[in-house]
Amino acid sequence: MRNPTVHRAPGLPPQVTIYEVGPRDGLQNEPALVPLATKARFVAGLVAAGLRTVEATSFVSPRWVPQLADADQLLAMLPRPAGVRYPVLVPNRAGLDRALRAGADDVAVFASATETFARRNLGRGVDEVLAMAEPVAVQARLSGLRVRGYVSMCFGDPWEGDVAVAKVVEVATRLAAMGCEQVSIGDTIGVATPGQVHDVLDALDGAGIGGRRVAVHFHDTYGQALANTLAALQCGVTTVDASAGGLGGCPFARSATGNLATEDLVWMLDGLGVDTGVDLDALVATSSWLAGELGRPSPSRVVQALAVDGSAGGDRTGQPGTAAPATGGSGAEVTGRAMGTDRAEVTGRAMGTDRAEVTDRAMGTGRAMGTGRAMGTDRAMGTGRAMGTGRAMGADR
């Protein structure tokens, strides 16, 4: 099944803006350096799939986040269709100067509701972080840029435990006061549950940060991100942060795993009849292609379901594209609804990259071999419903 059956539910907005963070929050956590051209192609694929706000990169210290050291070059390479915006994360004046030189049109400053994460992420306490963000926000607005603010660790902190709602409201209010048009409420480690989301958003609303002024940013560590998003929509939120393919995490909070996957979000919103403007097949094709480039399967359930269901295709060079039957690039032999790149041999509804041999509904990357509903990366072999990474072998479930 390639699309959900539409059943509307009461109390939801007709339209939701997806604020895509895959190229920034997703890639910042990748241990191996992703080539600049791959990043640019990833962003272009997201835009082609209909995403209109794509947080493209960070102008943070390259020593702290080497993966995004190419921010200046990346921004210069991106297509600029009308209506598309590429916000970038900026921690301080040095970052803003770089972002302005690179032609950024939106910036996001970031703070934390907890002292420990503020120190780990930005090397200073909450008050000092806000003092560092303020001149960035003020100068960015004077330069005609839009400014967003993030608050991390709003629902729990790995070092400090529970987080007081009053602290979240205080930090969000201070970000709004310095000129952030929207404040994104972060569940950095993915521990929130829907009742807590209601409580935090109600408290923010009471402080004047509701409706379009607030966005939600859920990581999916405990599998709660979609339930929490639905709760947020019921509270009147209309901007939801998500990451294509469910990539993501924060290098400075090890318990942070991938963000809410954009595909999982789009599937739910399509089913609820809520408009996002996103073409799910095209998005899945982009995330499947990137999963091949990164050498492991996407954690998104919808990407896994639709990629092995054969609904996402690509062109002959393995670039993301729209649904297509058999495609293959550079020595690939493909049949049926298969996609293959490089020396892959793929048949049936399979996708394979590099030296993979995959058949039936399998996905394989690296030297993987898979049959049945198997997914494999690197030197994995899988049969039946197996998933394998590294030198794994899996059979059946």
Q: Residues interacting with ligand HMG, by CB under 6 A?
A: 25, 28, 58-62, 64-65, 89, 91-92, 94-95, 98, 110, 121-123, 150, 152, 186, 188, 217, 219, 250, 252
Residues 366 and 383: their CA atoms lie apart, in Å, by 16
Beta carbon nearer to ligand HMG, 248 or 297: 248
Interface with Mg ion, residue 25, by CB under 5 A? yes
CB atoms within 10 A of CB 22: 30
Please list, in sequence order, all residues whose beta carbon lies within 8 angstroms of the beta carbon of residue 374, skipping any fewer than 6 positions away.
358, 362, 363, 364, 382, 383, 384, 385, 386, 387, 388, 394
- For 142, the enclosing helix (H) or strand (E) is helix 126-142
Amino acid at 236: G
> Does 250 participate in catalysis according to the annotation?
yes
Segment near Mg ion (CB under 5 A); pick from 23-31, 190-198, 276-284, 315-323:
23-31
Beta carbon nearer to ligand HMG, 262 or 371: 262
Size of the site for Mg ion (CB under 5 A): 1
- For 226, the enclosing helix (H) or strand (E) is helix 225-234
Closest approach of ligand HMG to the CB of residue 61, in Å:
3
Interface with Mg ion, residue 106, by CB under 5 A? no
CB atoms within 10 A of CB 391: 10
Closest approach of Mg ion to the CB of residue 150, in Å:
8
Beta carbon nearer to Mg ion, 25 or 105: 25
Please list, in sequence order, all residues whose beta carbon lies within 8 angstroms of the beta carbon of residue 37, skipping any fewer than 6 positions away.
none
Closest approach of ligand HMG to the CB of residue 7, in Å:
31
Residues 114 and 110: their CA atoms lie apart, in Å, by 12
244 binds, among ligand HMG, Mg ion, none (CB under 5 to 8 A by kind): none
Catalytic residue, chosen from 154, 180, 235, 250, is 250
Pinpoint the alpha helices (H) of 178-224. 194-206
Beta carbon nearer to Mg ion, 28 or 377: 28
What mask of x and - would describe binding to Mg ion in positions 300 to 339, judged by CB under 5 A?
Answer: ----------------------------------------
65 binds, among Mg ion, ligand HMG, none (CB under 5 to 8 A by kind): ligand HMG
Beta carbon nearer to Mg ion, 78 or 151: 151
Closest approach of ligand HMG to the CB of residue 155, in Å:
10
b (16+ CB within 10 A) / e for 331-364: ebebeebbbbbbbbbbbbbbbbbbbbbbbbbbbb
Nearest to 155 by CA among 220, 212, 210: 220
Position of minimal CB gap to Mg ion: 25
Beta carbon nearer to ligand HMG, 252 or 267: 252
Q: Which residues are catalytic?
A: 250
Binding site for Mg ion (CB under 5 A): 25
